Amino acid sequence: MDEQKKVMMLGNEAIARGAYEAGVKVSAAYPGTPSTEISENLVKYKDELYCEWSPNEKVAMEVAIGASFAGVRALASMKHVGVNVAADPLYSMSYIGVTGGLVLVAADDPGLYSSQNEQDSRMVARAAQVPVIEPSDSQEAKEFIKFAYDMSEKYDTPVIFRTTTRLSHSQGLVTLNDRLNIEDKPYERNIAKNVMMPGNAKKRHLVVEEREKRLIEDSCDFPINRVEMNDTKIGVITSGIPYQYVKEALPNASVLKLGLVNPLPRKMIEDFAKKVDKLIIFEELDPLIETQVKSWGIKAIGKEIFTIQGEYSANMLRKAVLNEDLDIKEAAEVPGRPPILCPGCPHRSAFTVLSKLKIHAAGDIGCYTLGAVPPLGVIDTTVCMGSSISSLHGMEKARGKEYIKNWVAVIGDSTFMHTGVNSLMNMVYNQGTGTVMILDNSTTGMTGHQDHAATGKTLQGDEVPAINIPELCRAIGVKNVYEINVFDVEGLEKLIKQELAKDEVSVIITKTPCVLLNKTPITHTCQVDEEKCKKCGMCMKPGCPAITRLPNGVTRIDTTMCNGCGLCKSQCKFGAIVDVPV
Amino acid sequence: METKNIMIVGVGGQGTLLTSRILGGIMLGAGYDVKMSEVHGMAQRGGSVVTYVRYGDNVSEPIVEEGQADVLIAFEQLEAKRYAHFLKKDGVLIVNTQRIDPMPVVIGAAEYPEGIVEELKKDYKVIDVDAMSEALKLGNPKVFNVIVLGVAAQHMDFTKEQWFEVIEKTVKPKFIDMNKTAFEVGYSL
């Protein structure tokens, strides 16, 4: 290969390339913004490595752990909240250590572009005593991950490779290298290290403490931690994407750029602090570096002048550090544009029925979370993956079965396979009577259409037997299992009423593929016959973005957006909406 | 060379990603250091989306901040208004005059501002284009974004052939001809 070939790469693509070059042989992941494109790019190298979508992050982590036990370099990737799901094996692996290098990519989401919270994965890593490496651009993403594998093997530890939305979804130039030829390590049975029962784990805990001490010392010489000495009036300790803002806004400042953000290279930081007049710590989200540095008696400024919420910027430094008057025009006051369900989305039909019946829904994580906002307004709660079914069950146990007669749990197919199935087991086992709606659109929608165990296709493109969701529910012990086309609004309404009346667990599966996956050409669009329109606005109730009301009160359908799903037509009592062939 | 900043704003699903990748491609071909930042995930579902393209000798941050954009390409009027303050004083705003009502407007909780383009023209150098009508003339509403790009390209220092070359490299083979035709329409408007 041409050693100097430079290409544009998304941060996530560069992480995948780095894992490939590092000789990774097994990768497992569950899709989650902003981590998804790592696996989607890694699969391009499937002739030389194996990669899969696992049903959830815990399983993905354990697949990677197994590969490490078997002596090869392994990767697990997930979004920040996925790290919580994978936390159980992660904490134990910190004690066990690795055979083949083991890296967990944790993709944080400062600013909450597509998440339910803004947690800082570095805090999880600190609790689990796992080192964290953080790159600042695509080139570093690719290079640092190779360093992460060497470090994992040298220090006998899993490594968290932390990225953020801005890094994962920015493109920059990357120089490509060849894939390393890493030999598989021989298997050695070692129960004192690999079987975590109390007697063994006590000893391993001490090993972990020693490892951390060694890392604190050795990391002062790691090439991924570096000092850029300039003017010494201001010194900044930073890492990741915030480093780029420092270079933009304070080009003359001295900078200690950390590649390893846990544990911290204490001596290096102490030396740097001594050399500068004013020490600033510039890190997004939690004051992880700041709290430790201050605890060593070093004077520094951090969250006193920078927010704990959201993304940082160069302007933030210009204002807070340089006190510059930036002469920026105020943003205009305009109506917000929150994300919405697409025109023709099958979820809209399900929510239209629930809204009409005035039913509350315990929601879950996916596009259907968008059913919470007006005009649909049917999702009452959203917590985490799989929580809809179990939280509905908890409500019943708190207040009795009558209390949930106007409630359903709403969950997507991918989320059901992730952790929802466990919750359904619990509902059956503990004699619940809840009604569960599985909105099966045959894909993982929000993250951009990834396959899962019930779609019949793997990440590597193999056709496999799809897990049959209705049969799975029956096997768990659910007697009332139904499948219905979600656009059959009358049938769905009748079915929901019928199942809510029962004192038994029911599962209603609305099986209609995601509209974005439907490749069949549109045969017709819906249009309003203005003569017949009574201006009642019923067609607008489902909140389809293709429908707007004209100044004279009649509605109009934007034919460039409509795909003829017919939901609005089903809402019109006057026959004013008609199909028009295209 | 000082770093130049381009922003593309629009509504999720309008193709800001494709447009920014074509732009990034042409800057790269010209030998610049390039950084781009994109939006994936939830906002892609009909929300307000922004992508950034920065190019120059050595680019650090991947985003464009308030008051820094040399060129702002807006695929929708309301989004033009939302992000206009990102423009530099002498920046250029290219706005597609399409109106897409956001949900607060659809449900009557907010009003879509009137006279956006006229209003913006008071403060900025604005070039407005009705790209959707042009796209419908071509029989493909989806390519309106490349028509807008064609209009923007009139204000940049690259030849049509250079743009075509990048389009060929960036879009899927079966869409190349359509996109080249659309670009040509915008380029000669």
Domain of residue A297, CATH code: 3.40.50.920
**C-alpha A134: how far from its chain's center?**
18
Can you tell me the distance from the alpha carbon of A287 to that of A381, in angstroms, rounded to the nearest whole number? Answer: 30
Asked whether residue A334 is domain-assigned, the answer is no
Can you tell me the distance from the alpha carbon of A176 to that of A8, in angstroms, rounded to the nearest whole number? Answer: 10
CB-CB: which of B38, B67, B103 is closest to A169? B38
Q: Answer yes or no: are the C-beta atoms of B172 and B125 closer than 8 Å.
A: no
Q: At residue A575, does pLDDT exceed 60?
A: yes
**Set of chain B residues whose Cβ sits within 8 Å of the Cβ of A339:** 12, 42-47
For residue A345, the chain B residue with the least C-alpha distance is B45
CATH number, domain of A576, equals 3.30.70.20
Same domain, A14 and A97: yes
Asked whether residue A391 is domain-assigned, the answer is yes
On average, the pLDDT of chain A sits at: 97
Report, as an integer, the average pLDDT of A533-544. Answer: 95
For residue B160, the distance in angstroms to the closest alpha carbon of chain A comes to 22
Can you tell me the distance from the alpha carbon of A210 to that of A199, in angstroms, rounded to the nearest whole number? Answer: 18
Cis peptide preceding A34, ω within 30 of 0: yes
Same domain, A280 and A184: no
Can you tell me the distance from the alpha carbon of A440 to that of A132, in angstroms, rounded to the nearest whole number? Answer: 37
For residue B140, the distance in angstroms to the closest alpha carbon of chain A comes to 9
Residues in chain B: 189
For residue B154, the distance in angstroms to the closest alpha carbon of chain A comes to 25
**Set of chain B residues whose Cβ sits within 8 Å of the Cβ of A334:** 78, 81-82, 113
Q: At residue A233, does pLDDT exceed 60?
A: yes
What does the DSSP assignment read for A330-387? PPP--------PPTT-HHHHHHHHHHHTT-EEE--SSGGGGGGSTTT--EEE--STTH
Which three-class secondary structure state does DSSP give residue B23? Answer: helix
Residues in chain A: 582
CB-CB: which of A166, A314, A547 is closest to B37? A166
User: What is this structure's pTM?
Assistant: 0.97
CB-CB: which of A328, A370, A548 is closest to B106? A548
**pLDDT, tens only, A73-116:** 999 999 999 999 999 999 999 999 999 999 999 999 999 999 99
What does the DSSP assignment read for A466-506? PP-HHHHHHHHT-SEEEEE-TT-HHHHHHHHHHHHTSSS-E
Total structural domains within chain A: 4
Same domain, A502 and A538: no
Rounded to 5°, angle at Cα A225 from A223 and A228: 100
Q: What is the percent of chain A where pLDDT is above 90? A: 96
Q: What is the percent of chain A where pLDDT is above 70? A: 99
Q: Residues 79 to 118 of A: which have CB under 8 A from any B CB?
A: 113-114
| pLDDT band for position A287 (cuts 50, 70, 90) | very high
Report, as an integer, the average pLDDT of A236-241. Answer: 98
Query: What's residue A250's pLDDT?
Result: 98
Asked whether residue A290 is domain-assigned, the answer is yes
Query: What's residue A321's pLDDT?
Result: 97
CB under 8 Å to A27, separation ≥6 — which residues? A19, A39, A42, A49, A50, A51, A52, A64, A74, A75, A76, A77
CB pair distance less than 8 Å for A340 and B85: no
CB pair distance less than 8 Å for A34 and B84: no
Query: What's residue A5's pLDDT?
Result: 81
| pLDDT band for position B45 (cuts 50, 70, 90) | confident
For residue B53, the distance in angstroms to the closest alpha carbon of chain A comes to 9
Same domain, A297 and A195: no
CB pair distance less than 8 Å for B45 and A341: yes
Asked whether residue A338 is domain-assigned, the answer is no
Q: Please state whether A240 falls in left (phi above 0), alpha (psi between -120 and 50) or beta.
A: left
CB-CB: which of A241, A374, A446 is closest to B42? A446
**How many beta-carbon pairs below 8 A join chains A and B?**
165
For residue A114, the distance in angstroms to the closest alpha carbon of chain B comes to 5
Structural Rg of chain B based on CA atoms: 16
Same domain, A67 and A160: yes
Q: Counting beta carbons within 10 angstroms of the beta carbon of residue B143, is it exposed (0 to 12), middle (13 to 18) or buried (19 or more)?
A: buried
Same domain, A266 and A279: yes
Can you tell me the distance from the alpha carbon of A33 to that of A367, in angstroms, rounded to the nearest whole number? Answer: 12
The domains found in chain B, sorted by start residue, are: 4-187 (3.40.920.10)
**A221, A252, A268 — which closes off a domain?**
A221
Q: At residue A1, does pLDDT exceed 50?
A: no
Q: Answer yes or no: are the C-beta atoms of B18 and B73 closer than 8 Å.
A: no
ipTM score: 0.95
**What residues form DSSP beta bridges with A238?**
A257, A282
Query: What's residue A149's pLDDT?
Result: 98
**Set of chain B residues whose Cβ sits within 8 Å of the Cβ of A37:** 40
CATH number, domain of A466, equals 3.40.50.970
Range of the domain at A148: 6-221
Can you tell me the distance from the alpha carbon of B167 to that of B26, in angstroms, rounded to the nearest whole number? Answer: 9
**Set of chain B residues whose Cβ sits within 8 Å of the Cβ of A8:** 24-25, 28, 34, 36
Amino acid at A550: L
Asked whether residue A74 is domain-assigned, the answer is yes
Structural Rg of chain A based on CA atoms: 27
**A192, A221, A250 — which closes off a domain?**
A221
Asked whether residue A518 is domain-assigned, the answer is no
